[in-house]
Amino acid sequence: MRRILSLSGYDVTLGLPGEGDLVGLWGASPTAWRGERVAARQGAKLVRVEDAFLRSLRPGRDGDAPLGLLIDETGLHFDGRRPSDLETLLATNPLDDHALLQRAKAAIARLKAADLSKYNLHDPSLDPPPPGYVLVIDQTAGDASLLGGGRNDFLEMLTEARLNHPGARILLKTHPETRAGHRPGHFRADDPGELYDAPVSPHALLEGAIAVYTFSSQLGFEAILAGHRPHVFGQPFYSGWGLTEDLAHLPRRQRRLTPAQLFAGAMILAPRWYCPYRDRLCSLEEAIATLEAEARAWREDRAGWVATNIRLWKRRPLAGFLGRHRAIRYADPPAKAAALAERTGRRLLSWAGREVAGAVQVEDGFLRSRGLGAELIPPLSLTLDDLGIYYDPRSESRLERLINDSAALPEADRLRAEALVAALVAAGLTKYNLGGAAPSLPVGHRILVPGQVEDDASIRLGAGEVHTNRALIEAARAANPGARILYKPHPDVEAGLRPGAVPDAADLADAVLTNADPVALLGQVQEVWTITSTLGFEALLRDLPVTTLGQPFYAGWGLTRDLGAPLPRRTARPDLTALAHAALIAYPRYHDPVTNRPCPPEIALHRLANGTMPHPGPANRLLAKAQGALASRAHLWRR
């Protein structure tokens, strides 16, 4: 809170106020009277601070810091008895800028799609009650926004709801802090109605309601955004603008707003949003991205994981990704892990490539690191797939389903994906970001042929007749006799860590590009031929033609020329933006190594482009070499 205030221009200090100083108060807290008395005695003005309306994963009493603040030098947004900065903004700002209102509509849709509310310990997988109920919203007893209202006021609201909807099912929705045991509410189990405290999504509850009754809960604001006209018995910031049925009339509020205008004022213009990764103020959209990452991590990890087939060096970075809410437990062999998961109610996790029945498969994402996994560089992104894994075309993967469903991608998501791709290309980023030389290339039509690790799972599962680097070079040469074939060995193979070397590559290709920068090469070639390499995906992002001889995740959608076996499941015809959104935003999870918390892809990109990344030490290098030798020996045994 101090940092957000500082970035907003407020210098927070202790002591008596001097000339021109403000006395800061937290809302209308029980101790606010002390600050009010000091301000009156010293002739100072007040500034009141409250949480913004998109706060955090957990309530503040559980220790989560807010994503944003409302800083008000006039009053309090929830006290309609006197003006506030937010009320003045809603009453006087034109709120007619087309771009602003489009941002508001897009953000409303995004919050619903991501199932985000002020607090976010709800479970989107839970089904709400059958539709047709009246939703009566409880609040915590003694909350300042009630302006002294108590149980009798809530019973009056309940009576009004029953009279207006005779015979309807009445749901008495508890507050998250009541469910968590922090503060009591007003309704009791024997009140006429059904006390409802299941952690169901607020968006799902509002969708099934036929009417909504509230005193001053933020859920009333969200009800407006969901298309309701809630009955309001208090004086919250959202009442009096023609969007609610108000028990208390507010003569100052004469203006009539649309839901998008109300949202634009309350969520985009009024708050000071904070980016914890870059330590600066930010936009609402960036705050939403932060909370999306936090909520996704909690929803996927809260039950805990039992992990199997995880190498020792991977366990520490995996804990940063998946063990923040409950420590990961490791067990081998897989049968033992499966039994432990069933006994403890945890989810079963296995590193991809080793099939374990019923396990979620985990693998590196497509924007990974500065350095190789084989050199034990920890990843910034992981993919968790409960259907399959993206490089195994034998069955549907979660990524494949996302791409197949991409026709319904909202415009705001498309714009985000376009911006991410543009930033990635401008920063010259790829999966590993090794850098390297930009060699002089032979003149002519240049075809880049990226080599792969020949015992890699993507080759074993996704290659066809062409499944070796030698065969790939030969196929590219045979189909393009007049072109310049440029062979780039895989970095793991170059480093001697994995199999796939082609000793006579110089006799097969026009140039062998060792230690070359992939980004520099993509800027100097006319097309790419590959089996399943992710460099083919990176070439697509840079508008290069790509020919595939296997079945990588990006093939079969009409974006590549595919010489491998067709995949009838891939029926959609997405454009590049939709493919990029699925592969870079919707599918992976990202982890910020600086703050050690979940992050959006934009932050991972920022760290790779500008930040300080972990580097391996000598011990890592020795262990990587030993790992490569063992992998090669295992490969020979398999052959």
Query: CA 296, CA 291: separation in Å to the nearest integer?
Result: 8
Q: Where are the domains of the chain?
A: 92-275, 304-404, 409-618
pLDDT value of residue 624: 47
Helix (H, G, I), strand (E, B), or coil: what is residue 54?
coil
The pLDDT assigned to 353 comes to: 84
Using an 8 Å Cβ cutoff, are 482 and 443 in contact? Answer: no
For residue 84, give every residue at least 6 positions away whose Cβ sits within 8 Å of its Cβ, in sequence order, or none.
72, 74, 75, 76, 77, 237
Residues 6+ apart with CB under 8 A from 316: 378
Token pair of 272 as six digits: 């000071």
Which tokens in the block code for residue 489? Answer: 């060995």
**Contact by Cβ (8 Å): 396, 388:** yes
Instruction: Give the SS3 label for residue 23.
Output: strand
Output the CA angle 84-51-77, nearest 5 degrees. Answer: 20
According to the model, what pLDDT value does residue 515 have?
Answer: 86
Q: What percent of the chain has pLDDT over 70?
A: 95
- Per-position DSSP letters for 195-239, written without gaps between them: EE---B-HHHHHHHEEEEEESS-HHHHHHHHTT---EE-S--TTT
Q: pLDDT tens digits, residue range 102-128?
A: 999 999 999 999 999 999 999 998 999
pTM (2 decimals)? Answer: 0.92
Residues 6+ apart with CB under 8 A from 86: 70, 72, 77, 237, 265, 266, 270
Residues 385-436 have pLDDT tens digits of 999 999 999 999 999 999 999 988 999 999 999 999 999 999 999 887 777 7
Find the mean pLDDT for residues 12-39: 93
Bridge partners for 595 per DSSP: none
Do the domains 92-275 and 409-618 sit in the same CATH topology, yes or no? yes
Asked if 346 contacts 334 with a C-beta cutoff of 8 angstroms, the reply is no
Percent residues over pLDDT 90 in the chain: 83
From residue 304, alpha-carbon distances to 56, 297, 299, 323, 598 in Å are: 21, 11, 10, 7, 16
Q: What are 498-551's pLDDT values in tens digits?
A: 899 999 999 999 999 998 888 899 999 999 999 999 999 999 999 999 999 999
Q: What is the pLDDT of residue 637?
A: 30
- Taking the alpha carbons at both ends of the chain, their separation in whole angstroms is 60
Sign of CA dihedral 517, 522, 526, 532: positive
pLDDT, tens digit (0-9, with 9 covering 90-100), for 196-220: 999 999 999 999 999 999 999 999 9
Question: Going by C-beta distance under 8 Å and a sequence separation of 6 or more, which residues neighbour residue 12?
Answer: 2, 5, 6, 24
Integer angstrom CA distances of residue 318 from 35, 306, 355, 381, 587: 47, 12, 19, 10, 17
Residues with Cβ within 8 Å of 30's Cβ and at least 6 positions away in sequence, in order, are none
CATH number listed for the domain at residues 92-275: 3.40.50
Alpha carbon 293 to chain centroid, angstroms:
3
pLDDT of residue 492: 83
Q: Tokens representing 547?
A: 């020919």
Helix (H, G, I), strand (E, B) or coil at 45: strand
CA separation for the pair 178, 191 (Å, rounded)? 16
Q: Which CATH class is domain 409-618?
A: alpha beta
Six-digit token string for 149: 């209202």
Inter-residue contact 395 to 558 (CB < 8 Å): no
The per-residue pLDDT for 535 is: 95
Peptide bond into 333 cis (omega under 30): yes
